[in-house]
Chains A and B, each alone.
Chain A
Amino acid sequence: MPTTMFDRIWDSHVVADLGEGWSLLYLDRILVHDLSGGRAMAEIAEAGHRVAEPSKVFATPDHAVSSAPGRTAETFAKGGKLLASLRARCAAEGVRMFDLGQRGNGIVHVMGPEMGIVLPGVTLACGDSHTCTNGGVGAMAFGIGASELTHALATQTIPQRRPGTFRIRFEGARPDGVTAKDMILAAIGRFGAAAGTGMAMEYAGGAVRAMSLEERLTLCNLSIEMGAKVGMVAPDDTTFEYLAGRDFAPKGALWDAALADWRKLPSDADARFTRDEVIDMASIAPQITWGTSPEQVSAVTGHVPRLEDAPDAGRRQAWEAALRYMGLEPGQPLVGTKVDWVFIGSCTNARISDLRAAAAVLKGRKRAGHVTAWVVPGSEQVKAEAEAEGLHRQFLDAGFEWREPGCALCVAANGEAVPPGARCVSTSNRNFVGRQGTGARTHLASPAMAAAAALAGSIVDVRSF
């Protein structure tokens, strides 16, 4: 019987059948961060347990660390306490931790693939919903809550209910100015923020095959904004070239054995998915969100919707509330909307290719005088690579701030926030009410679109900029 990649990885990790679709799954990797990692390890210790397999657990502080240039653990005091707890617990349990300033430090979903910790065909859990990002290398990776994390750490397993499968094939040539971010935002706009609930996504098609590995990570990153815990792209030579030689990737004979296993992962050509959709690449233009859910998104050339165009009463009510929060008028064009802040960063779009794409828009120009623009590299490695290429100099010359790695303004857990009422074009993944700070108004877009908005001081179509 033909099978999907998801089926194969799931089936090969079942330790026990728990009935009614539930399985006890073995976890090949667990990633922890400062917001919940120290506490989870403390809780299992209080209950008399140890971390079951410390060699398969990796930690990095990212959520509650300051991104200020020259930051230390103490720059954001509340975060400093979490970091101290993470350090102490990792030391006690023998868990590897990549501390501030060290190679390997960074946003947990940037660090995992970059260090070769996350590999094709592995299962991975992390106490963060954007763990789906790691599916870009062909892993089955999903976010879990704090209690599930204690179970994962204490047993190296997790009970899960088998989801359905949802494939989206992106077919056709990629139009000018369209990035992975635009593709996934367009998909969420088309299918809705709950379309992937109870599903594991697989992204396929010619346009995905042609993508770089980093673009695939961006694509998978927003799976959870469609409701899916898991998003995956089949591994191929692009994946293997990316992983070869990375710190924790297999080497020598192990690499050869791994490669043989990985080549068997892609879904059979005639595999059946619970839901299967095709998106024509020609239908996608650069996207930007206008509301407070990622499904409230439009081509940048479009308009804020009119309430009478809402498909039902519930949607109309949601649109009205979103527009009130966002300070937008029904029917107004998106282009020309004044912008106060720009944030280039996050597990969605803070890898080296993202920073190159943003820098390429600058062309020696400066940010608009009223705009505050931040660039927060995704990891120490990204930061070092960007500085070696001189990208930081280009951003600084354009009047952007060049900051330290971490989640920063994507989640505003580290004392940094977009001020109330300020409008921010952000390369992150959530435009929820208050996400970037109380009263902050977020427009999600690609790195190039964000950089262009910083220069123009308003939302612009990057293709004509």
Chain B
Amino acid sequence: MTGRILPFGPRLAPPPEPVAPRGGVRRADEVDEEGLTPTDHERFRRVVLPHMDSAYNFARYLCRDPSQAEDLVQDAFLRAFRGFRGFRGGDPRAWLFAIVRSSHLTWARSQGGQRVQPFPADVEQAPTEDDTPEAALVRQGEVDMVRGAIAALPEPFRETLVLRELEELSYREIAEATSAPIGTVMSRLARARQMLLAALPPLLPTEEQRP
């Protein structure tokens, strides 16, 4: 059981001087000793971690694939964590979304379009989380339909709509997160809504007559 105990002196000593970055890539272990203090850790957990659902929701609608969304969010939190000193305050979500989005774009570019599926998993059938009573069954059909309709929107419209309707960002925050002029945000949102209205069947079979 008790094996040889490793001589652990070197590791407990102050960290050795940093090796020069290779290929311009930042060393991953700059994080702690040189980067973030325990206070930063605590602040990150308080300020950024609560938005994990939001980040996942955005990532999921961006890439429309559950496991890819997990990768994106984990990657984004790692990058957010390392770059936390660069966070200027303001709504942490807009900042986080911008990071998720850039991770997504990096990934999409690295795929060179070869894995761009016209109908990814989430478009056709959206698996759902736990929901208990019978009434949920009916509602779930509606939820799947709405999710599918959103997932089928072209990306610029999809991301704008999700940030507005599901994450409730202001036009200005959406513009910031998506690096788009505010006018573009507005026209994308209007177009996204028109496309959704066209794609979704009316909520009730017997719709009440309009005024």
Bound together:
no
Binding site for B on A (CB under 8 A): none
